[in-house]
A and B are shown apart, each in its own frame.
Chain A
Amino acid sequence: DIVLTQSPALAVSLGQRATISCRASQSVSTSSYNLMHWYQQKPGEQPKLLIYDASNLASGIPVRFSGSGSGTDFTLTINPVQADDIATYYCQQSRELPLTFGSGTKLEIK
């Protein structure tokens, strides 16, 4: 199974940049696609897709969210961070079965 490793928490000041990382135990990229996706989950709500294929913004997501990376190392960036961004962020790979998620990074305000 592909294991995705995320830091448990990140504290950032409002208006600053947040960088959330996800490292895969093996490559999740093909010759054409980087099959890593990012979700936001606020308390009591269902997850919401933010970024697909590593860098593509999902529909309706603000442009202050962006994603990058390839192979085994991926990053979700929020710039600038707003109060509404307080949530847990999960990465997920669809390169191979079983589909796996990272353990989540909880974004906190400093």
Chain B
Amino acid sequence: EVQLVESGGGLVQPGRSLKLSCLASGFTFSNYGMNWIRQAPGKGLEWVASISSSSSYIYYADTVKGRFTISRDNAKNTLYLQMTSLRSEDTALYYCASLITTVAFDYWGQGVMVTVSS
């Protein structure tokens, strides 16, 4: 069974940094692209970043480019999102999602909350 479990969220002051993790199990993590998607409270879904299986291809939304870094450790079956220079508008539930069976986001974690506030 595919499982994606996010961690690392919390309350952080504007301008500070935070690193999210997503531990994957139930599939061969190193074979598939992975993504971060976020959802601000009461709002819709926003794609944040994608990384290919071997980290050769990395893409970001313009809203986070230059501030966030997506990475992965295939030996640890873990996806990361390093977030720096955080802003209040980054407050959201952050989901990791896989691309295993299709080019759509086929499996999602339960999400981890990031709150940026002084």
Contacts and interface: CB of A to CB of B under 8 A. Distances in A.
A25 to B, nearest CB: 16
Given A46-B110, A92-B45, A101-B44, A35 B103 contact: yes
B109 interface: yes
Interface string A43-81: 000111100110010110000000000000000000000
A53 B102 contact: yes
Interface residues of A, number: 24
Contacts, number: 61
Contacts of A41: 45
Interface of A, helix, strand, loop or mixed by DSSP: loop
A6 to B, nearest CB: 9
Interface of B is mostly: loop
A14 B106 CA distance: 28
B95 interface: yes
Nearest to B93: A46
A94 interface: yes
B108 A98 contact: no
A47 B102 CA distance: 16
A26 to B, nearest CB: 17
Nearest to A35: B103
A91 to B, nearest CB: 10
Contacts of A39: 45, 105
Contacts of B59: 97-98
12 contacts: A37-B103, A37-B104, A46-B111, A52-B102, A56-B102, A58-B102, A58-B104, A58-B106, A90-B44, A92-B104, A99-B47, A100-B47
Interface of A: 35, 37, 39, 41, 46-49, 52-53, 56, 58-59, 90, 92, 94, 97-104
